[in-house]
Amino acid sequence: MFIDWRRLPAMTDALQWAGWTWRGVLAWDKINSRPQRGRFRQQAEFVVWGSNGAMPLGRDAPVLPGVFRQSMPSHSKRIHQTERPIEVMREMIQIVEPGEIILALLLRYKKLKSSTTALVQ
C-alpha cells in the first residue's frame, strides 16, 4: 500500500487487524516533490507490506533495497493522477515468487489500465 506519513500508523494497524503479518515499511523517494516554504519537502511515500502466510527465508527471492529512488512520471505522461513509476513497481514485485499473488489495495478495478500495479503484472 503506497501511503504518505499521515496514514502510516492506521495502515500498519489495519494490516495486522486483518490477520496479516506486517513485514515492514519501504520508502519511495520521489525526488521531484512539491516544495513548501518553511517546511520539509514531502518527497517520500511509504509502502506498508506484509504477507498472509509464511515467507521462509530460504525461498527464491532476492534481497531488495528498503528505499526506492525514482522521480514521479511527468504530468503530461501520466494516465492517472496518482500513477507510480513503473520502474519502482517492477523492482518491488521481485519479492514475490512465481505463482504468488500481490494484493494491491486501492487498485481501481474499473480503470485497470490506469493502475501501475496492473501494468506490471
Average pLDDT over residues 47-71: 89
Q: What is the pLDDT of residues 103-117, one digit of tens each?
A: 776 544 444 444 444
The cell numbers describing 8, all together, are: 502510516
pTM for this model (two decimals): 0.75
Q: What is the CATH number of domain 2-120?
A: 3.40.50.150
More confident residue, 30 or 111: 30
Give the closest residue to 88 by CA, choosing from 101, 70, 104: 70
Domain coordinates in residue numbering, the chain: 2-120
